[in-house]
């Protein structure tokens, strides 16, 4: 589909469009990001009124200073939300979505590092406005810039998600356009672990997948450390699938079988009087059994932890400060 087809159509009502961007230590990218947003989403667009909502996710560099300065500029369209600490990308996204929903008809979400091309975002927006689709998901088609490690772990992640029965589109990150109704449905999910791309697969609506080419990170390094990536993957799986719990049941069945075999072996050795020579098999069984036990307890722990967190009903993010565009 091509966007020109839609540009020729007329829409009678002006749409409010918010671009929501979580930022964590992105001070080096903010100026260029806003410059590109300004030059692509024009003030004089007859069909849309744009606002850019930058969510500072507890940065420790000059990110908030830059955001508030830009939003205080004359005729600025930059809004800033400052979270009280680093809540993580997904919660920052949620904070932005909830705030944007107060006035937006369509919401674009993208990263601050310019890896998500703004031109692609515009095309996706046109699709969402003029076609029957409520949600347009950006799918990484070609990624020349991520490391081999990042690409292979990401591939395994999507495979694992599908294996555990989570219906998630591969290579779809948090680059998307959603209309008001689908965004409301998304944030209606009160999950403590707000794993956006997984919840999107649960809410339905008509979704279109738009392939795009990933750009190079404008400045700085990825803000997803290996630790954050593991946390993200584990939260993604355990917040959407209970299959790992079934795995514990299957594993215990397998263990039961192994124990039966060991029992037969022990009885045979006892009958033959050859008892001392079983040392290695005993050691092996102990290690295998303990290993499995720890794994199963670990999986149970993950879910119990989730139940615990959900029962506390703590806020998923805290807004410390808001910066609105200056009206002078």
Site for ligand UDP in 285-314 (CB under 6 A): none
Q: Which stretch, 95-103, 114-122, 201-209, 276-284, contacts Mg ion (CB under 5 A)?
A: 114-122
Backbone angles phi, psi at 254, to 5 degrees: -60, -40
Nearest Cα to 136, choosing from 73, 210, 46? 210
Judged by beta carbon, residue 88 or residue 244, the one nearer Mg ion is 88
What span, in angstroms and rounded, lies between the C-alpha atoms of 309 and 288? 32
174 forms part of the interface with Mg ion (CB under 5 A): no
Distance between the two ends of the chain, CA-based, in angstroms? 42
113 forms part of the interface with Mg ion (CB under 5 A): yes
Applying CB under 5 A, among 71, 76, 115, 192 the residue interacting with Mg ion is 115
89 forms part of the interface with ligand UDP (CB under 6 A): yes
Site for ligand UDP in 216-245 (CB under 6 A): 222-224
Judged by beta carbon, residue 29 or residue 182, the one nearer ligand UDP is 29
Write down the least CB distance from residue 322 to ligand UDP, Å: 17
What span, in angstroms and rounded, lies between the C-alpha atoms of 66 and 322? 13
Q: Are 47 and 11 in contact (CB under 8 A)?
A: yes
Burial of 149 (0-12, 13-18, 19+ CB in 10 A): exposed
112 forms part of the interface with ligand UDP (CB under 6 A): yes
Report the SS3 class of residue 17: strand
Using CB under 6 A, count the residues that bind ligand UDP: 16
Q: Which does 112 bind (CB under 5 to 8 A by kind): ligand UDP, Mg ion, none?
A: ligand UDP
Helices (H), 164-225: 180-187, 196-203
Site for Mg ion in 257-276 (CB under 5 A): none
What span, in angstroms and rounded, lies between the C-alpha atoms of 321 and 95? 12
- Burial code of 264-274, b = ≥16 C-beta within 10 A, e = fewer? eeeeeeeeeee
Give the residue closest to ligand UDP by C-beta. 222
215 forms part of the interface with Mg ion (CB under 5 A): no
26 forms part of the interface with ligand UDP (CB under 6 A): yes
State the residues that interact with Mg ion by CB under 5 A: 111, 113, 115
State the residues that interact with ligand UDP by CB under 6 A: 22-24, 26, 57, 86, 88-89, 92, 111-113, 115, 222-224
């Amino acid at each position: 589909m091509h966007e020109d087809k839609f540009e020729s159509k007329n829409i009678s009502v002006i749409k409010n469009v918010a671009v929501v961007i979580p930022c964590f230590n992105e001070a080096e990218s903010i100026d260029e990001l806003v410059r590109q947003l300004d030059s692509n989403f024009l003030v004089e667009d007859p069909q849309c009124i744009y606002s850019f909502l930058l969510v500072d996710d507890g940065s420790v560099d000059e990110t908030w200073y830059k955001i508030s300065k830009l939003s205080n500029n004359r005729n600025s369209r930059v809004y800033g939300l400052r979270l009280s600490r680093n809540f993580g990308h997904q919660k920052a996204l949620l904070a932005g979505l909830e705030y944007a929903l107060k006035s937006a008809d369509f919401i674009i979400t993208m990263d601050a590092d310019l890896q998500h091309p703004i031109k692609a975002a515009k095309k996706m927006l046109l699709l969402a406005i003029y076609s029957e689709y409520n949600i347009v998901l950006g799918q990484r088609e070609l990624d020349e810039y991520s490391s081999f490690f990042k690409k292979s772990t990401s591939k395994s992640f999507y495979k694992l998600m599908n294996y555990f029965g989570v219906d998630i589109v591969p290579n779809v990150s948090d680059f998307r356009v959603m209309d008001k109704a689908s965004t409301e449905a998304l944030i209606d999910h009160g999950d403590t672990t707000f794993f956006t791309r997984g919840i999107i697969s649960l809410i339905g609506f008509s979704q279109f997948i738009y392939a795009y080419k990933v750009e190079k990170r404008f400045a700085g390094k990825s803000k997803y450390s290996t630790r954050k990536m593991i946390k993200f993957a584990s939260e993604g799986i355990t917040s959407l699938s209970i299959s790992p719990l079934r795995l514990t049941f299957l594993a215990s069945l397998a263990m039961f079988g192994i124990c039966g075999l060991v029992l037969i072996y022990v009885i045979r050795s006892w009958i033959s009087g050859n008892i001392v020579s079983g040392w290695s098999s005993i050691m092996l069984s102990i290690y295998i059994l303990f290993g499995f036990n720890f794994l199963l307890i670990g999986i149970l722990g993950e879910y119990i932890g989730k139940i615990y967190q959900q029962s506390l009903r703590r806020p998923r993010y805290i807004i410390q400060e808001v910066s609105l565009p200056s009206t002078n």
